[in-house]
Amino acid sequence: GENVGLHLPTLSVQEGDNSIINCAYSNSASDYFIWYKQESGKGPQFIIDIRSNMDKRQGQRVTVLLNKTVKHLSLQIAATQPGDSAVYFCAENIEDTGRRALTFGSGTRLQVQP
Amino acid sequence: SQTIHQWPATLVQPVGSPLSLECTVEGTSNPNLYWYRQAAGRGLQLLFYSVGIGQISSEVPQNLSASRPQDRQFILSSKKLLLSDSGFYLCAWSVRNRPTEAFFGQGTRLTVV
């Protein structure tokens, strides 16, 4: 089964508000956690990743927080825009298995209301 | 710059027919290559990945196979399609030492009828 899952299947926010998308994981051997965005009918697009020895990483309008104590990952989007509407996936990379691929969670749909 | 091509975009095939989906990458050498499947409203399930020519790792035993005849070519095949093979198939590549940032193709929506 999957090691990565999400708390909320759908999140609706007002344009301009901040969005927080959450993800829980169970595998402590993950060395990287990643967020992807998938717009309708397209392939997923890399947003940001965070190494397991970090707590926070910031990108352009996005921040990823990692809480290893409770095995929780979140993606914060500042000043959410209509173009942010998409499905967001968290994923993990486990380096010690020799596997060279990511394990994806089931996704959260973000709907931005004008 | 690197690009990934995946075709066809949509495909309707009868049960029992063969399948061949092709994916090619340009602008990079020796990439990791992946095939994922996505059921409607669901996450991505890894089917196969490859770290080199002729090297294929299968994640889930099923009615599909993959081949990598050239460094930047990845093919997903089936001898006889099942109804359960319907889905959105995505090819992706990543730099060898950076598997966290995968670049996905536009996907193939396969409907088996």
Per-residue pLDDT tens over the stretch A2-55? 344 444 489 999 999 999 999 998 888 888 999 999 998 889 999 999 999 999
CA distance B93 to B34: 6
- Considering A2-6, A9-13, B61-65, B95-99, the range whose residues carry the highest mean pLDDT is A9-13
Sign of CA dihedral B54, B58, A72, A106: positive
From residue B109, give the alpha-carbon distance in Å to each of A43, B29, B40, B45, B48.
11, 27, 10, 15, 18
B57 touches chain A (CB under 8 A): yes
Amino acid (one-letter) located at B16: G
Q: How confident is the model at residue A76 (pLDDT cuts 50, 70, 90)?
A: very high
Mutate to test the interface with A, among B45, B88, B93, B100 (most CBs of A within 10 A): B100
B104 compared with B60, residue with greater pLDDT: B104
Task: Inspect the interface and report whether the beta carbons of B99 and A45 lie closer than 8 Å.
Answer: no
A34 touches chain B (CB under 8 A): yes
With H, G, I as helix, E, B as strand and everything else as coil, classify residue A97. Answer: helix
Return the structure tokens found at B51: 């770290």
